[in-house]
Amino acid sequence: MVQVDLITGFLGSGKTTFIHRYAEYLSRSGKKYMIIENEFGSISVDPMLLNDLNVPIKDLAGRCMCCSGFDQFRGMLISGAESGCDRILVEPSGIYDVDEFFTMMNLPAVRECCEIGSIITIEAPDCKAGSDEVDYLMFSQLLAAGSVVVSKTQLYPENEVEETVSRLQKALQRRGAEPFPEERIIRKAWDDFTDEDFAWLAQCGYHIAEHAREELNHQELFTTSMIVVQGTEPERLRKQTEQLFADPETYGMVLRIKGFARGTDQTWYEVNCTPGTTVIQPRSVKRGILVVIGQNLKEEEIKRLFA
């Protein structure tokens, strides 16, 4: 029976970075695994950041694993089990209702070969609910988790890390759920994680609880805008991304920006931004596309900013 780990968390929380390190631990432990990636929008960025792991990566680009890509996701799980994997790591979009994962794992064809291993929710100080819909998605991800990992702790003072934990607890309590067990919350910088930490996470399990379910149409509530960026400078790019977050009246509510851009000196950069964090760093990936994810995005204005 193949164990399936769901690595969830809102947009920009640090899921892909966690998966990279968790996967390296599985390799050191002699485990055979594959990764299933699903991003919101038609362009996939995260699989490019995991290519150096040299393991099978299945990509549900342009589809949502809880609706339009549901059947394809089921096929990937069954195929992974048939390939002899010990574990399958699943990274859904940050816009994901975990109840859909339980529905998938209870299908007879999937249940015959796969079982849930751990549900690990990654959250960060800069990932804050911007609407009731976002708040509900974060609630569903927290409620199902066997463990919560607070990421980016090296970037924020301790009081902001604790404020993040408090905010997550309130997200649960607002909808009548019990607080998350303190002993199952990890607050560590990525470089401080040990193999013992990853071993614990690999068996932390998951949680099923009755709750009032809200049906959301993700593709109506959230949208994406794709921008081709060639011949720019990191500082100019930084100012443009910060402007997108700072002016929702002009650009819509921007929740996440990620992708790659080519500088005027032909250097390629990875762009990874949330409302509270902007990271622009050199990368070898040569694909000059930025993906902007949000609500009520004003695409023409966004493209005009980068023109």
**145/33 same-domain check:** yes
Q: Would you state the structure tokens that stand for residue 176, as one six-digit string?
A: 């009548």
**152/34 same-domain check:** yes
pTM: 0.89
Which residue, of 170, 202, 234, is where some domain finishes? 202
**185/249 same-domain check:** no
Calculate the alpha carbon distances from 105 to 2, 116, 207, 241 in Å. Answer: 12, 7, 14, 38
Q: Would you state the pLDDT for residue 41?
A: 58
DSSP state of 38: -
Q: Would you state the structure tokens that stand for residue 56, as one six-digit string?
A: 């099978």
H helices present in 90-228, as ranges = 99-105, 108-111, 132-144, 158-173, 195-202, 218-221
Q: Would you state the pLDDT for residue 223?
A: 83
**188/124 same-domain check:** yes
Q: Would you state the pLDDT for residue 45?
A: 59
Q: Is residue 29 part of a domain?
A: yes
Q: Would you state the pLDDT for residue 261?
A: 87
Q: Could you tell me which residues come within 8 angstroms of residue 166 by beta carbon, excluding any fewer than 6 positions away? A: none
**195/227 same-domain check:** no
**136/244 same-domain check:** no
Residue 281: which CATH number?
3.30.1220.10
Q: Would you state the pLDDT for residue 57?
A: 83
**Which segments within 201-301 are labelled E, that is strand?**
223-228, 230-232, 253-263, 268-273, 278-282, 289-295
Q: Is residue 211 part of a domain?
A: no
Q: Is residue 112 part of a domain?
A: yes
Q: Side by side, which strands form the sheet with 2-8?
A: 57-59, 33-37, 87-91, 2-8, 114-123, 147-150, 185-187
Residue 77: which CATH number?
3.40.50.300
DSSP state of 178: P
Q: Could you give the number of structural domains in the chain?
A: 2
**174/256 same-domain check:** no
**274/132 same-domain check:** no
Q: Is residue 268 part of a domain?
A: yes
Q: Is residue 132 part of a domain?
A: yes
Could you give the 3-state DSSP secondary structure of residue 180? coil
**110/190 same-domain check:** yes
Q: Is residue 177 part of a domain?
A: yes
**124/30 same-domain check:** yes
Amino acid at 234: P
Residue range of the domain that includes 261: 223-306
> pLDDT truncated to tens, each residue of the chain (307 aa)?
999 999 999 888 889 889 999 999 999 999 999 999 887 655 555 555 566 667 778 888 767 777 777 889 999 999 999 999 999 999 988 778 888 999 999 999 999 999 999 999 999 887 765 677 778 888 999 999 999 999 989 888 999 999 999 989 998 999 999 999 999 999 999 999 999 999 999 999 999 988 877 776 666 678 888 888 888 888 999 999 999 999 999 999 998 898 888 888 888 898 989 888 888 988 877 777 888 988 889 999 999 998 8
> What is the distance between the alpha carbons of residues 299 and 292, in angstroms, rounded to a whole number?
9
